[in-house]
């Protein structure tokens, strides 16, 4: 005999009272046991599935001990068995206004610990006595491998009629260098912001008479690195 909706709801209400009112404690214990059984089952399955890949109890204790001592992750290449050398790169280029370019600095088989970059540029002279050339603004950035450490200059404008110059030196401590991979590349970025236009001095001061779309530059990079000692 089919039950109507009212009878079904009444039976569900009685079941709810029995489980969560009359036998509330027993119900919670039963649910807890079911959850524990499910967790243990999943753990045993994963343990058998990835046998040989999971850490043992002794390995976990060893890792915890290293963390407490602050020695976790220690190691890396022994730099004391290497010697310091120096490399040099000369570059030149041209940048349009509001653009940038990057240069990679790497030494095959070496561990670079320091990069010194020097950027120079010279703006155009005044077009003639009726014009005043505005300065160009450059910025220089040096980054270690994966950009973990970065050093950037402010925007620098050249003095009117003179050369502009930016120098940056980024040095990493040996504790970090020893964990780099041989041949890891550093990055030097050159950016040009505003390329100063030629403004008229007279008869209408401040009016742009000739637009400057970019500027050339020179870049000198000196880098220090560790390399195996030569026999």
Contact 216, 119 (CB under 8 A): no
Cis peptide before 203 (omega within 30 of 0): yes
Instruction: Please name the helix (run of DSSP H) or strand (run of DSSP E) that holds residue 17, with its range, or none.
Output: helix 5-17
56 DSSP 8-state letter: P
* CATH ID of 79-228, from 2.60.120.380, 3.10.620.30, 1.10.10.10, 3.10.20.30: 2.60.120.380
Structure tokens at 170: 């980024």
Instruction: Please name the helix (run of DSSP H) or strand (run of DSSP E) that holds residue 140, with its range, or none.
Output: strand 137-143
Q: What is the pLDDT along the chain (231 residues), one digit of tens a residue?
A: 555 666 666 766 676 666 566 666 666 667 767 876 776 666 665 555 444 445 556 555 555 554 554 444 556 789 999 999 999 999 999 999 889 999 999 999 999 999 999 999 987 654 444 555 677 889 999 999 988 899 999 999 887 667 889 999 999 999 999 999 999 999 999 999 887 555 455 555 444 455 567 888 999 999 999 999 876
How far CA 214 is from CA of 16, 98, 100, 228, in Å, comes to 79, 8, 11, 43
């Amino acid at each position: 005999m089919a039950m109507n909706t009212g009878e079904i709801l009444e039976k569900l209400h009685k079941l709810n009272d029995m489980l969560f009112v009359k036998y509330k404690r027993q119900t919670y214990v039963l649910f807890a046991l079911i959850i524990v059984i499910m967790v243990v089952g999943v753990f045993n399955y994963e343990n058998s599935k990835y046998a040989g890949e999971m850490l043992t109890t002794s390995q976990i204790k060893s890792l915890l001990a290293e963390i407490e001592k602050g020695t976790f992750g220690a190691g890396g290449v022994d730099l004391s068995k290497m010697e310091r050398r120096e490399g040099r790169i000369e570059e030149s280029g041209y940048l349009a206004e509001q653009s940038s370019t990057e240069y990679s600095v790497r030494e095959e088989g070496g561990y670079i610990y320091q990069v010194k970059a020097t950027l120079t540029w010279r703006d155009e002279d005044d077009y003639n006595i009726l014009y005043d050339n505005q300065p160009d603004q450059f910025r220089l950035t040096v980054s270690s491998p994966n950009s973990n450490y970065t050093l950037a200059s402010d925007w620098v404008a050249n003095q009117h009629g003179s050369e502009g110059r930016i120098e940056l030196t980024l040095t990493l401590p040996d504790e970090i260098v020893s964990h780099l991979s041989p041949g890891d590349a550093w990055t030097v970025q050159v950016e040009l912001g505003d390329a100063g236009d030629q403004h008229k001095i007279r008869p209408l001061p401040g009016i742009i008479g000739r637009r400057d779309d970019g500027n050339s530059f020179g870049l000198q990079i000196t880098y220090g690195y560790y390399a195996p000692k030569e026999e």
